[in-house]
Structure 1
């Protein structure tokens, strides 16, 4: 990526989460000169590894979808291939009406193809309501529809409240009666537009999946925690000549005739291109002057906040009490505070190997519209988690160490019309030379989607700059690389 004057193009990446780091890694590999600017004192965004009572754990996202390739490929590219590990168990439970039952199989994100798989989850009335799907006329979904609204219309609210909500709501920390079907489960949207019966459409999706015979684990973790991935990517970026600055918030972006001026509190950096890998509210503020249309759309993106309560117990006190499997999900309709619990020492072999005498688990609290829980102090969140765990499993032991991690504004919401909003944002941003956006607010909240978003932005910037003969060097005000 060399211009006619022999200088490397300089790209500034605003945001040091996994999306921004993936973009920086791609750009360094393309030959660009890269500077990453992160406002906080650490990299990784919602990926954070650490220790509790000496046991390595994740305090943020803990796994990545393995059947979407971007994140696993990135981990291998930065030297973590030998540390990739699938979950030790794929079984989980549902804490439904006060009883722990095995998580049903044979569904697509909680939507079943056969009522028989939900006999332990639904009431007799709920099962009978599902059967009406076969005779109901097709539900028109138009350009988009809330997944909860659609499934309730076809199968009844009980299916939504008891299975779809805890499964899909757990991914987005959102309300499935608001969540876009096209954005969150596009395969289900396709089925809804092709079949009169929802269950018939789900069975067809299941037949296709069986015909494709996908092998290998569905999810993947990393020995030491998914939170070790950002550090490994950052080291690879530095090894490729990139510069990474933390505690360096970007205050303004200005486009001149030939380049970008990126203003920080320590000076102004000149760049040929900018990858804006910041949350939507931050991106909105930075684009207010250069792209008011994009800024308005970005300002409308809502976020949910949540807390993770991580607890370490003496293994001998809890191992025999807790049910088998990797943990359990909780339907919000039952009114409990926690939304899920993960038994980390069962789910991840490396947790148990590094701390064989401990049992580590975590609970999640809060979702869109329930931020009031996050204002409780740490002790209260630990106590309410222990209370719900005791009610669900009979656990009475006290933890030897706890940690509460609050993810304020952690998960962007994908309401009906989200994809149209993203298209409008990208259309407006495309009018700005040498600038692209990426991150969880656009194409998916999972780690592979974020990595893919960053790589897409990097590729588009690289392609544009390759065709641009005017390159800038150095900085103004002494803040550059």
Structure 2
């Protein structure tokens, strides 16, 4: 295991013990970062598995992702972590990124040249928008500036500048696909910060989008925008967990944390079976859990965390005989399609896994695997339907979109209840207040999808920030280190 990457922080911390609460990718990334500094780490996960929303499963005997399936490679954190835990030779870009929009009763090529659906060139939108929608975009040059203040909803701002059709047909399926949210509520500052900064500079929105694209191009590293992992992104948590153990860390599943108590020096972490002394704590849990655990020691932070809302969704994975789908032109060479909510369909997206990921095609050459997603913030009734009905609804929409009438040989429905935190206007101000309150507590930090982004690299970056801050605090405050090593197992 590589320890040299954090050698700048390696000090006399061998007696320091940090408890990481939560075994999703954020908690695992924090634990991994901490063990590389020489601190002793115990990770506690309430469920019987690691990984959170990163999970693999089997369909028709083939291992596939049943949660997140790719990670942004333009940010370095996720790819670097995968490489650090021995997965470098299994990283794999998509075989195709040719996506479509299912809108206005047809599959239409996804327009190029946009930032989360906000276009730079209206000429690329002729197949997606109506003539009226295109005409509305042209009116922007005559509009007075729209102030954004400290924050603004993406959908509201874009609709004001370019018309609602741009939001409903483009921004909603793209931005909503990431957050399972409502573009008219989602914070531009939190969800699309580069665009927010460009908009603050003034001028037309189309010009701001072009500036974002130019800056991104100047910073673009070579290689794919996204990466997957052979065998599934869901294999990353296990590899990180193995690396944590190899570095001397302890990982305990089925170990819910019931309470946190400050001691004269350090913390007491109460589980259902014991009390674990700790010099530092990383809380890598959803907002509701973090709020409950902080209620006694930081009521203000707990109150802020209680205000974070979540969206739930379901993934329906389907396996077909490849011979049964080869005749459908709409399934060839495409990675899948997105569905604007305004079109009133049940599914909001479909990924053609056997086209998108070469490793899926290689693992099951006689099968064609795809998946659909159902549910978003405010529209979650579908996820409470039984599995058979969700499969039937997905097949109905797939038939209308692609003509596919074949019957699957296997199906799997995965529900992610409270899976994605929402980032409404003012979210970053809420996060700042939470962190300010938590910073008052000795050697305790929070991390995860609530704070700095819901993508895998953002979660990892959040975790590494928390780990680094705790490491610095323990190094700088020797009294925090009280030799808890012999007590942790009691």
Please give the per-residue CA displacement for 1:344-382, whole angstroms capped at 9, x wherever unaligned: 000000000011001000000000011111110000000
- Structure 2 distance, partners of 1:16, 1:96, is 39
Instruction: State which of 330, 340, 348 in structure 1 corresponds to 2:339.
Output: 330
Q: Confirm whether residue 128 of structure 1 aligns to residue 135 of structure 2.
A: yes
- Structure 2 distance, partners of 1:101, 1:137, is 33
Match of 1:28 in 2: 35
Match of 1:186 in 2: 193
Structure 2 SS opposite 1:235: helix
Match of 2:124 in 1: 117
Match of 2:290 in 1: 283
Instruction: State which of 263, 266, 279 in structure 1 corresponds to 2:270.
Output: 263
Corresponding residue pairs, total: 479
Greater Cα shift, 303-312 or 203-212: 203-212
Instruction: State which of 410, 415, 421 in structure 2 corresponds to 1:401.
Output: 410
Q: Confirm whether residue 314 of structure 1 aligns to residue 313 of structure 2.
A: no
Give, in angstroms, the shift of residue 197 of structure 1: 0.6
Q: Confirm whether residue 437 of structure 1 aligns to residue 446 of structure 2.
A: yes
Structure 2 SS opposite 1:95: strand
Please give the per-residue CA displacement for 1:302-326, whole angstroms capped at 9, x wherever unaligned: 0000000001110111133124310
Structure 2 SS opposite 1:137: coil
Give, in angstroms, the shift of residue 190 of structure 1: 1.1
TM-score, normalization by structure 2: 0.96
Structure 2 SS opposite 1:11: strand
Structure 2 SS opposite 1:410: strand
- Structure 1 distance, partners of 2:97, 2:305, is 37
Conservation of the 8 A alpha-carbon contact between 2:288 and 2:306? yes
Match of 1:239 in 2: 246
Q: Confirm whether residue 461 of structure 1 aligns to residue 462 of structure 2.
A: no
Q: Confirm whether residue 472 of structure 1 aligns to residue 479 of structure 2.
A: no
TM-score, normalization by structure 1: 0.97
- Structure 1 distance, partners of 2:10, 2:70, is 38
- Structure 2 distance, partners of 1:474, 1:2, is 19
Give, in angstroms, the shift of residue 188 of structure 1: 1.0
Conservation of the 8 A alpha-carbon contact between 1:311 and 1:402? yes
- Structure 2 distance, partners of 1:455, 1:331, is 35
Match of 2:181 in 1: 174
Match of 1:141 in 2: 148
After TM superposition, list the pairs within 5 Å mapping 1:288-299 onto structure 2: 288-299=295-306
Conservation of the 8 A alpha-carbon contact between 2:17 and 2:485? no
Match of 2:89 in 1: 82
Please give the per-residue CA displacement for 1:376-429, whole angstroms capped at 9, x wherever unaligned: 000000000000000000000010000000000000000000000000000000
Greater Cα shift, 323-332 or 388-397: 323-332
Conservation of the 8 A alpha-carbon contact between 1:13 and 1:276? yes
- Structure 1 distance, partners of 2:342, 2:433, is 35
Which runs of 5 or more structure 2 residues have no equivalent in the other structure? 1-8
Instruction: State which of 137, 155, 165 in structure 1 corresponds to 2:172.
Output: 165
- Structure 2 distance, partners of 1:372, 1:327, is 24
- Structure 1 distance, partners of 2:14, 2:194, is 46
Give, in angstroms, the shift of residue 201 of structure 1: 1.2
- Structure 2 distance, partners of 1:352, 1:428, is 49
Instruction: State which of 39, 42, 52 in structure 1 corresponds to 2:59.
Output: 52
Give, in angstroms, the shift of residue 225 of structure 1: 0.1
Instruction: State which of 46, 61, 64 in structure 2 corresponds to 1:39.
Output: 46
Match of 2:5 in 1: none
Conservation of the 8 A alpha-carbon contact between 1:52 and 1:312? yes
Structure 2 SS opposite 1:145: coil
Match of 2:355 in 1: 346
Give, in angstroms, the shift of residue 472 of structure 1: 2.9
Structure 1 SS opposite 2:478: coil
Give, in angstroms, the shift of residue 213 of structure 1: 4.9
Give, in angstroms, the shift of residue 51 of structure 1: 1.5
Conservation of the 8 A alpha-carbon contact between 2:277 and 2:488? no
- Structure 2 distance, partners of 1:441, 1:205, is 25
- Structure 2 distance, partners of 1:51, 1:290, is 43
Give, in angstroms, the shift of residue 440 of structure 1: 0.1
Structure 1 SS opposite 2:420: strand
Match of 2:379 in 1: 370
Conservation of the 8 A alpha-carbon contact between 1:270 and 1:480? no
